[in-house]
Structure formats: structure tokens, C-alpha cells
């Protein structure tokens, strides 16, 4: 697991961000994950230019139930391909959670993040320092600190393998 401290800009989203806002149904016919990045958050009001303006290393920060809605794995691929190293949210919707784990894409569960966003304790454009390994999150712009919990149990093993297919291959070899 990554132990080094990552530094990047925060892109802050609300609670219940639906997959249509992350990756709109208009582009579902796309089958190449590399081409999905350009459509990230195109339908999210106020964040239409996210894909153009976000830099590799920036962070997606959201409240409760991130990734609600559709089963589309596009919504994980697009952020991964854009170089967003981790999504920080209070919690994640069921299918989005699976899709992230299955791709070895890090997500951190940050208690209190929904309220912190509403209270302006973490804002768009803030500089963040994130240690995915320890879960330490620091908003350098205003000095606020948060803690993110990584996944546990089987999900941790799948993440460690790099994703579900890699996990299956690794366990099949062991047998």
C-alpha cells in the first residue's frame, strides 16, 4: 500500500453524487477506459470543466453515498484514467464501492466529511496532503485535519492484489 504523502488540489462534491453526474449515460457506449476520462463530471452543475482542469494527483472529495445509481464501471475508470489517486468520501454507494475495489482503485471513508463540506471546512481548490496508507488527510490551505479509513476484510485483499481479476489469478495459482 502507498505510504508516501500525496499532494494535490481538492475538487469538492455534495452528498448522493449519482453516476450520471460522474459519467453521463450519454457516453455509455464507450468501451475503452482510456477514452472515458474526458467525460468525467461533465453533467455535474458547476464542474463541467473538471476533466479539462483537474490535474493528475488532484483529489475528488465528496459527502455521503458517492457513486449512487448505475452499475457503470465507467464512473470508476474515468477518474482512475484521469489520474485522481483516491476518492475521499464519507461513504460510497454499493455498486461504486464494488467497482472501485474490483479495479484496485483506492477509496477512503472519511467520517464527518459530509458535514465538513457543508460547513466549508474543506473547499474547492484547497491544497490537500493525503497518505493513503495511514489515512491521514490534511487540508493545507486551512489547517483542518481528517482521517480516512481504508477498506477491510476481503476487500483489502482484493485491493492488495490490484483488483478482482488479479486476485482470482493469484488465488488460483496458490491452489
Partner 1 sequence: MGKTMIQKIIQRASGKEVQVGDRVWCKIDLSTARDFGGPNCVLQFDEVTDKAKVWDPDKIAFTFDLQAPAHAEKVANNQKIIRDFAKRQGISKVFDVNWGIGQHVLLEHGLVKPGDVILGTDSHMNLLGGVGAFATGVGNTDIVASWINGTLWFRVPETMRITTTGSFGKGVCMRDYLTFLVGKLGADGMFFKAVEYYGETIEKSSLADRITLCSMVTEMSGKVGLITPNGEVLDWLVKRAGKEVIERIEAMKADSDAIYSDDLHFDVSKLEPMASCPDAPDNVKTVREVAGTHIDQVHIGSCSNGRFEDIAAAFEVLKDAGFQVSDNVRTIITPTTREVMKQCAEAGFIQKFLEAGVVFTNPTCSLCTAEHYGVLPGGDVGVSTTNRNFIGKVGKGSHTYLVSPMTAMASAVKGVLTDPRDILK
Q: Could you say whether residue 47 binds partner 1 (CB under 8 A)?
A: no
| Cβ-proximal residues to 125 (8 Å cutoff; 6+ apart), any chain | 9, 10, 141
Q: Could you say whether residue 72 binds partner 1 (CB under 8 A)?
A: yes
Let me know if 36 is exposed, middle or buried by CB neighbors in 10 A (0-12, 13-18, 19+).
Answer: buried
CA 160/CA 142 separation, integer angstroms: 33
Indicate which single residue of 73, 81, 126, 139 sits in contact with partner 1 (rule: CB under 8 A): 73
Contacting partner 1 within 103-132 (CB under 8 A): 103
Closest approach, Cβ 20 to partner 1, in A, equals 5
Give the helix, strand, coil percentages of the chain, each rounded to 5. 35, 20, 45
Closest approach, Cβ 134 to partner 1, in A, equals 24
Contacts with partner 1, residue ranges (CB under 8 A): 15-16, 18, 20-21, 24-29, 31, 43, 45, 64-65, 68-73, 76, 91, 93-95, 98-99, 102-103, 153-155, 158, 163-165, 168
Amino acid at each position: 500500500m502507498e505510504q508516501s504523502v500525496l499532494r494535490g488540489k481538492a475538487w469538492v462534491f455534495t452528498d448522493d453524487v449519482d453516476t450520471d453526474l460522474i459519467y453521463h449515460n450519454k457516453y455509455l457506449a464507450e468501451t475503452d477506459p482510456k477514452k472515458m476520462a474526458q467525460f468525467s463530471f461533465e453533467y455535474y452543475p458547476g464542474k463541467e470543466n473538471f476533466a479539462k482542469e483537474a490535474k493528475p494527483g488532484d483529489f475528488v472529495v465528496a459527502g455521503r453515498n458517492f457513486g449512487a445509481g448505475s452499475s457503470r464501471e465507467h464512473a470508476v475508470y474515468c477518474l482512475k484514467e484521469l489520474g485522481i489517486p483516491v476518492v475521499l468520501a464519507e461513504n460510497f454507494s454499493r455498486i461504486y464501492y464494488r467497482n472501485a475495489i474490483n479495479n484496485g482503485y483506492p477509496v477512503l471513508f472519511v467520517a464527518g466529511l459530509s458535514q465538513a463540506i457543508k460547513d466549508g471546512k474543506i473547499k474547492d481548490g484547497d491544497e490537500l496532503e493525503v497518505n493513503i496508507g495511514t489515512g491521514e488527510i490534511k487540508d493545507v490551505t486551512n489547517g483542518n485535519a481528517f482521517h480516512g479509513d481504508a477498506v477491510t476484510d476481503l476487500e483489502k485483499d482484493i485491493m492488495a492484489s490490484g483488483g478482482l481479476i488479479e486476485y482470482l489469478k493469484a488465488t488460483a495459482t496458490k491452489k
